């Protein structure tokens, strides 16, 4: 019985070593040899958002593909920050082998207010300088990749965004005024019908 206890682990190890993998390793260029994306934009660099343009597309980002030295799937993401050093950045995943991104006023508005202090202490909109760049990484769907470069960054662009925001107090005031109007209509004392 003791003999079987020692033989089982040995057989298990031999079985594991006998397994072969069919995954082909992919060797990519080092970080120095990788070509980063080149970012360009079409549209406005000063964007003032209001209720009339909230669903429009004021800017389109386009970039070239990154060359990792092999035919691999590359995932691109948009990184944004309120300073050129990209401290406290916010990232939006764009997709695999995608080279363009339309930015709507609605998206810009949400990002600026939620992530870059687009509102002051009184809940009023503030102009924000928004720095943007694209970064490329090898997608996880690739086979085993050796010597992977980390994120490869494009050049940075900047735009100025003035967000659109209606303070909560505005909605409360409008509701109060509407409610007073409804109450006076029911009572009929403040409004007189002109007729006959």
As a whole number of angstroms, the distance between CA 59 and CA 50 comes to 16
Residue 49 confidence (pLDDT) above 60:
yes
Q: Which of 7-16, 18-27, 63-72, 165-174 has the lowest mean pLDDT?
A: 18-27
Which residue's structure tokens are 């007189």? 192
Q: What is the CATH number of the domain that holds 93?
A: 2.60.40.10
Query: What pLDDT, on the 0 to 100 scale, is given for residue 78?
Result: 98
As a whole number of angstroms, the distance between CA 124 and CA 121 comes to 7
pLDDT band, very low/low/confident/very high, at 190 (cuts 50, 70, 90):
very low
Question: Does 85 fall in a domain?
Answer: yes
What's the domain count of the chain?
A: 1
Question: Does 87 fall in a domain?
Answer: yes
Question: Does 3 fall in a domain?
Answer: no
Whole-angstrom CA distances from 171 to 14, 126, 160, 180, 184 are 72, 20, 27, 14, 20
As a whole number of angstroms, the distance between CA 49 and CA 162 comes to 6
Question: Does 175 fall in a domain?
Answer: yes
* Global pTM value: 0.69
Question: Does 57 fall in a domain?
Answer: yes
Question: Does 193 fall in a domain?
Answer: no
Question: Does 46 fall in a domain?
Answer: yes
pLDDT band, very low/low/confident/very high, at 16 (cuts 50, 70, 90):
low
Residue 21 confidence (pLDDT) above 60:
no
Higher pLDDT, 149 or 158: 158
Higher pLDDT, 44 or 71: 44
**Which pair of structure tokens corresponds to residue 80?**
């944004």
Which domain range does residue 82 map to?
Answer: 22-184
Question: Does 1 fall in a domain?
Answer: no
Higher pLDDT, 163 or 149: 163
Residue 108 confidence (pLDDT) above 70:
yes
Average pLDDT, the chain: 80
Whole-angstrom CA distances from 52 to 1, 55, 93, 105, 148 are 83, 8, 28, 10, 46
Query: What pLDDT, on the 0 to 100 scale, is given for residue 31?
Result: 55
**Which pair of structure tokens corresponds to residue 95?**
């997709």
Higher pLDDT, 138 or 53: 53
Residue 159 confidence (pLDDT) above 70:
yes
Residue 118 confidence (pLDDT) above 80:
yes
Q: Which of 31-35, 55-59, 86-90, 99-103 has the lowest mean pLDDT?
A: 31-35
As a whole number of angstroms, the distance between CA 145 and CA 26 comes to 5
pLDDT band, very low/low/confident/very high, at 69 (cuts 50, 70, 90):
confident
């Amino acid at each position: 019985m003791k003999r079987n206890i020692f033989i089982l682990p040995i057989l298990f190890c031999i079985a594991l070593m006998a397994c072969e993998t069919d995954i082909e390793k992919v060797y990519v260029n080092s970080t120095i040899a990788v070509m980063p994306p080149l970012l360009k934009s079409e549209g406005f660099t000063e964007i003032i958002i209001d209720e009339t343009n909230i669903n429009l597309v004021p800017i389109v980002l386009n970039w070239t593909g990154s060359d990792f030295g092999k035919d691999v799937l590359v995932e691109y993401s948009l990184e944004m920050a309120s300073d050129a050093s990209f401290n406290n950045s916010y990232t939006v995943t764009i997709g695999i082998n995608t080279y363009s991104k339309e930015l709507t006023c609605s998206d810009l508005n949400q990002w600026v207010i939620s992530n870059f202090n687009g509102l002051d202490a009184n809940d009023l909109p503030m102009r924000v300088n928004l720095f943007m760049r694209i970064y490329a990484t090898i997608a996880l769907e690739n086979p085993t990749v050796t010597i992977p470069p980390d994120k490869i960054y494009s050049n940075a662009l900047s735009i100025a965004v003035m967000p659109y925001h209606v303070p909560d107090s505005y909605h409360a005031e409008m509701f109060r005024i509407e409610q007073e109007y409804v109450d006076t209509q029911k009572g009929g004392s403040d409004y007189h019908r002109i007729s006959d």
